[in-house]
Structure 1
Amino acid sequence: MKTKFQHLFDEKKRVKILVVGDLILDEYIWGSVSRISPEAPVPILESKSENLALGGAANVANNLVALGCDVYLVGGVGKDEKGDKLLELIGNRNIHTDGIFRFVHRPTTSKIRVIAHNQQVLRIDKEDNRPILPETEKKIINYINETVPQMDGVICSDYNKGILTEKVTHTIMHRAKNVKKHVVVDPKGTDFSKYKGCTVITPNQLEVERVAPIKIATQEDLDRAAEYLISLAKAESILVTRGKEGMILYRKKKKPVDIPTVAREVFDVTGAGDTVISVFGMSLFSGFTFEEAARLSNMAAGIVVGKIGTAVVTLNELNQFLQEDMLRTSPTILEVEEAKKIVSLAKNIGKKVVFTNGCYDLIHGGHIEFLQKSRRMGDILILGLNSDDSVRAIKGPNRPIKNQQERANILSALQDVDYIVIFNEQTPENLIRELRPDILVKGDDYKIDQVVGREIVESYGGKVALVPIVKGLSTTNTLDQILQHHKS
């Protein structure tokens, strides 16, 4: 998946996506609350600033543009001031607007969110859900028929505001099938049969519970409900988003894939569903598998909920998250070539790599304190561990007490040690030359000019640091004390 993702940066041809759905103007009022109204038991907001953002299908289009896609947007806005503002915002994002038509009989849909101290305290919706006029519906259908063949895929963003009528939806599915294009649907309402023929539907769990005639109390109930909806929509797959529980990908005659959430901090879930369908659709249309697309969209959701307001995720943010994910999920004990890749990934995302080395036979408190201090000097600590042969050559035939695998396993359990590389030479010079750490650390029982690898590290601009050690603590002293105690 990571190799495919890199191709998104390399491709000269941008992914062309048709987005059809309800366009919404998101309005934000930012302020603070310090008192309660004397007129009613409600907070008084002291307004500080206001801003406008793209919402609904327009936010899906905005997400896709941020991901480097060429987006054609289909929908409608009112012939009013808010419609003018929404069209201006859309145009500023270089989204194609030929498929956006003006309503005469209804206003532009808008959502006003009041934010105090970075928390949403109120939302006001202004909308008219009457069906669109037949003449508007016909214009939309004609545009879809003309445009779908030139697209890499279609996303339907249904907010149940009237754009995705039965006729419009049928046209999308029929035209896409004829030209073999994927259609991904973010559904609304209680009738998923209108999406019949789509590739994937992406409801949240609450929407699944509303639509499926199955009371969901267990995982097995959710599995059966998902199977029901796949059959109802004649879809290839269903991606059920579950908030803090992550998401589950279902496919015909395949085991469900449970994908845990990767969100670190959640500030605002506004627009997270738009981000999910945007990244999922882009990935699927770019040749990713269903599972790869789902995992990428899950990562994107984890990023966007850490932002305030209707936000987007960029390719660079996803790329950084992927690289950090590789760092998090890589095994601790590595071969040299694996460690080189980890160092490269870490440096690519601005992390500082610290290196130290030693035998670490019979680990004691002095070792722990030294490793803690070393780790605090950077973001990642790599420990070069002398192999058994190396220890014998340095310490004598009766060492090590613990073999290299035992020593590595114990060290890997320490939270301050990120990675371990076992080396056979008596000194780590070759390993340092291969890894090129930012900082080389040794104990202050050495002098700077005695540190093996100093010249290598300093030659490319790295630093050498000496860390105070705990006096009197060493493996040799520990062994001497054990022998002395045994003799007595």
Structure 2
Amino acid sequence: MQRKDAESLFAKARNVRALVIGDLMLDEYLWGKAERISPEAPVQVVDIIREDLRLGGAGNVVNNLAALGCSVSICSVIGADENGTTLQHVFTGKGVDVAGVFEDPLRTTSKKTRVVAANQQIVRMDRETKEPLRPELEAQVIEYVERHADEFQVLLLSDYLKGVLTERVVQAAVEAGRKRGIPVVIDPKGSDYSKYRGATILTPNRKEAEQAAGMPIANEDDLGRAAERILRECELDALLITRSEQGMSLFGSGGWLTHIPTFAREVYDVTGAGDTVLAVMGVALACGIGYEDAARVANVAAGIAVGKVGTSTVTPSEVIGLIGHGHADSDAKIKNLDVLVEVIEKEKGRGKQVVFTNGCFDLLHVGHVKYLQKARSFGDLLVLGLNSDASVRRLKGDKRPLIPQEERAHLLAALNCVDYVVFFDDDTPLALIETLKPMVLVKGGDYTPDTVVGRDVVESCGGRVELVEFVDGKSTTNIIEKILTSYGEGQ
């Protein structure tokens, strides 16, 4: 996935409504220094400097979804206790819908307390209930899911084996998703995956996959056999196995396989990384992204998450920045139209005058550069509509373009005079012009004002058309002819 596609994904994510079902818990962090041994016992003494309370379990999935810009609802069962009240207050403070959170006075709201010194956990203390939901609470959860499933684009199940995701609850969610064509994405636990049967995709780590398949995974062959067994027995569409420093492996019911190398730079804490993978996979699938691209984005997000201490969230800007790090300057200029519209509206709001031009720009030459420099001089920023490869072939024949569209885009985006590049697949840029409504429309001197596509649109908005003369003798056609003359057959 390229930067422009990641930008579009996270722009669409703002319209996604997600339902998270699973075990809620509070993660308490006690941060301190350990510089001495207790005189009472051979243990470290930790001097606590600060305390931190975070959403854990399914709550961390909710946190990640909110950080990605989604609207989120949560369905779970908590205790009628102080920790349960704290959880609900934190959710409502974040704008999360808690209508599906039910209280059970016989349960204890899970709370995990971690003591951390020098970025290392010293000890963890758990207070929780692990028993399956009582039948009456199970019925409430199922009724909520069945009644409200139509309101969401994705269902995410976060199982920490604390009793909320019983087989009946999971199957009710799977059936609700299948019935409505909504992806059901599950982060599973335990050795028995039968309760997850029919889900869209599971996201276990390697150790969890070993337990579920009932076999060790020592090499790639073992991995493939284990994945095939889980896919078959659980009747899944896909399976994503996270493999720590080895990245991720994606398997499909059709037998395909994709290995995705890790994106992690430094690993400080793997706590909550699975929650990040679950959230990003869910959002991507809800936005119509294919399994492979969804997994690649989730892999990048997980690499960022493990570089942070404790249960942490990952933001769109972090993911987009890491995806585009290889060509930071040019990648940042190449946009899909849905994202570019928002960018241009903001620029117009700042009083910027937008200039638009378009072309194939196949085999970039000095004539192109001087033309674009002149176009940029008519306003504050220049948007370049670039013909896609398919569009170029229709206009110039099957032998063109010489340079693929992505390469042409990066060459153009590397020019200081070009502010943004956007592809279009039509024969003309009229749809782009109608959408962006630039104040200045620039075309070459071989046009007359009456023949410029989009002139009426621009002038109706108070804008104007500018014609720029090309540098004499400088064209892609001339360059091709010169190469054929100098290096053609028999030369």
Q: What band does the TM-score fall into relative to the shorter chain?
A: 0.5 to 0.7
**Is 1:4 aligned to 2:9, yes or no?**
no
Q: C-alpha separation between the residues in 1 aligned to 2:43 and 2:298?
A: 38
Q: C-alpha separation between the residues in 2 aligned to 1:237 and 1:12?
A: 22
Aligned residue in 1 for 2:37:
36
The equivalent position to 2:330 in structure 1, one of 330, 338, 341, is: 341
Q: Taking structure 1 as reference, are residues 174 and 49 closer, same or farther at Cα in structure 2, changes over 3 Å only?
A: same
**Is 1:265 aligned to 2:266, yes or no?**
yes
Contact 2:213 / 2:226 at 8 angstroms: preserved in 1?
Answer: yes
Q: Taking structure 1 as reference, are residues 213 and 9 closer, same or farther at Cα in structure 2, changes over 3 Å only?
A: closer
Q: What root-mean-square deviation, in Å, do the aligned CA atoms of Structure 1 and Structure 2 show?
A: 2.6
Aligned residue in 2 for 1:49:
50
TM superposition shift of 1:114 = 0.6
TM superposition shift of 1:433 = 6.1
Contact 2:12 / 2:287 at 8 angstroms: preserved in 1?
Answer: no
SS of 1:135 mapped into structure 2: helix
Q: Taking structure 1 as reference, are residues 13 and 50 closer, same or farther at Cα in structure 2, changes over 3 Å only?
A: closer
Encode CA deviations 1:11-30: one digit per residue, 9 max, x unaligned. Answer: 49610111100001100101
Contact 2:28 / 2:114 at 8 angstroms: preserved in 1?
Answer: yes
Q: C-alpha separation between the residues in 2 aligned to 1:343 and 1:190?
A: 44
Aligned residue in 2 for 1:299:
300
SS of 1:299 mapped into structure 2: helix
Q: Taking structure 1 as reference, are residues 342 and 187 closer, same or farther at Cα in structure 2, changes over 3 Å only?
A: closer
> How does 1:60-209 map onto structure 2 within 5 Å?
60-209=61-210
Q: Taking structure 1 as reference, are residues 49 and 174 closer, same or farther at Cα in structure 2, changes over 3 Å only?
A: same
Contact 1:156 / 1:183 at 8 angstroms: preserved in 2?
Answer: yes
Amino acid at match of 2:320: N
Amino acid at match of 1:189: G
TM superposition shift of 1:6 = 2.1
Aligned residue in 2 for 1:248:
249
Q: C-alpha separation between the residues in 2 aligned to 1:167 and 1:192?
A: 13
TM superposition shift of 1:344 = 4.3
Encode CA deviations 1:400-459: one digit per residue, 9 max, x unaligned. Answer: xxxxxxxxxxxxxxxxxxxxxxx9xxxxxxx976589xxxxxxxxxxxxxxxxxxxxxxx
Q: C-alpha separation between the residues in 2 aligned to 1:219 and 1:34?
A: 44
Encode CA deviations 1:279-313: one digit per residue, 9 max, x unaligned. Answer: 01100111110000000000001111111211001
Aligned residue in 2 for 1:386:
none
Encode CA deviations 1:86-132: one digit per residue, 9 max, x unaligned. Answer: 11111111111000011111110111111102222211111111121
SS of 1:238 mapped into structure 2: strand
SS of 2:295 mapped into structure 1: helix
Q: Taking structure 1 as reference, are residues 285 and 10 closer, same or farther at Cα in structure 2, changes over 3 Å only?
A: closer
TM superposition shift of 1:254 = 3.3
Q: Taking structure 1 as reference, are residues 8 and 343 closer, same or farther at Cα in structure 2, changes over 3 Å only?
A: closer
Contact 1:4 / 1:288 at 8 angstroms: preserved in 2?
Answer: no
TM-score in terms of structure 2 length: 0.67
TM superposition shift of 1:4 = 3.4
Q: C-alpha separation between the residues in 2 aligned to 1:239 and 1:62?
A: 21
TM superposition shift of 1:189 = 1.1
Q: State how many pairs are aligned.
A: 346
SS of 2:298 mapped into structure 1: helix
Contact 2:239 / 2:251 at 8 angstroms: preserved in 1?
Answer: yes
Q: C-alpha separation between the residues in 2 aligned to 1:103 and 1:315?
A: 36
> How does 1:290-439 map onto structure 2 within 5 Å?
290-327=291-328, 341=330, 344=333
Amino acid at match of 2:330: K
SS of 1:232 mapped into structure 2: helix
Aligned residue in 2 for 1:473:
none
TM superposition shift of 1:188 = 0.7
Q: Taking structure 1 as reference, are residues 187 and 32 closer, same or farther at Cα in structure 2, changes over 3 Å only?
A: same
Q: Taking structure 1 as reference, are residues 8 and 291 closer, same or farther at Cα in structure 2, changes over 3 Å only?
A: closer
Aligned residue in 2 for 1:349:
none
Structure 1 unmatched runs, 5+:
328-339, 346-422, 424-430, 437-488
Structure 2 unmatched runs, 5+:
335-410, 420-491
Q: C-alpha separation between the residues in 2 aligned to 1:236 and 1:209?
A: 19
Which range moves more in the overlay, 221-230 or 128-137?
128-137
Contact 1:200 / 1:236 at 8 angstroms: preserved in 2?
Answer: yes
Q: C-alpha separation between the residues in 1 aligned to 2:418 and 2:180?
A: 50
Amino acid at match of 1:267: Y
Which range moves more in the overlay, 312-321 or 155-164?
312-321
Q: C-alpha separation between the residues in 2 aligned to 1:158 and 1:432?
A: 50
TM superposition shift of 1:208 = 1.0
TM superposition shift of 1:341 = 2.6
Contact 1:343 / 1:435 at 8 angstroms: preserved in 2?
Answer: no
Q: Taking structure 1 as reference, are residues 127 and 240 closer, same or farther at Cα in structure 2, changes over 3 Å only?
A: same
Q: Taking structure 1 as reference, are residues 43 and 12 closer, same or farther at Cα in structure 2, changes over 3 Å only?
A: closer
Q: C-alpha separation between the residues in 2 aligned to 1:149 and 1:343?
A: 36
Q: C-alpha separation between the residues in 2 aligned to 1:153 and 1:146?
A: 15
Q: C-alpha separation between the residues in 1 aligned to 2:13 and 2:134?
A: 40
Identity %: 42
- Decide which structure has the larger Cα Rg and report it: 1
Q: Taking structure 1 as reference, are residues 10 and 279 closer, same or farther at Cα in structure 2, changes over 3 Å only?
A: closer
TM superposition shift of 1:5 = 2.5
Amino acid at match of 1:288: I
The higher-RCO structure (CA 8 Å, 6+ apart) is 2
Amino acid at match of 1:198: A
Q: C-alpha separation between the residues in 2 aligned to 1:10 and 1:268?
A: 29
Q: C-alpha separation between the residues in 1 aligned to 2:13 and 2:61?
A: 22
Encode CA deviations 1:197-243: one digit per residue, 9 max, x unaligned. Answer: 10000110001111213332221011000000001110011000011
Q: C-alpha separation between the residues in 2 aligned to 1:21 and 1:343?
A: 37
Aligned residue in 1 for 2:288:
287
Q: C-alpha separation between the residues in 2 aligned to 1:65 and 1:12?
A: 10
Q: C-alpha separation between the residues in 2 aligned to 1:12 and 1:107?
A: 34
> How does 1:449-468 map onto structure 2 within 5 Å?
none
Contact 1:113 / 1:123 at 8 angstroms: preserved in 2?
Answer: yes
Contact 2:14 / 2:71 at 8 angstroms: preserved in 1?
Answer: no
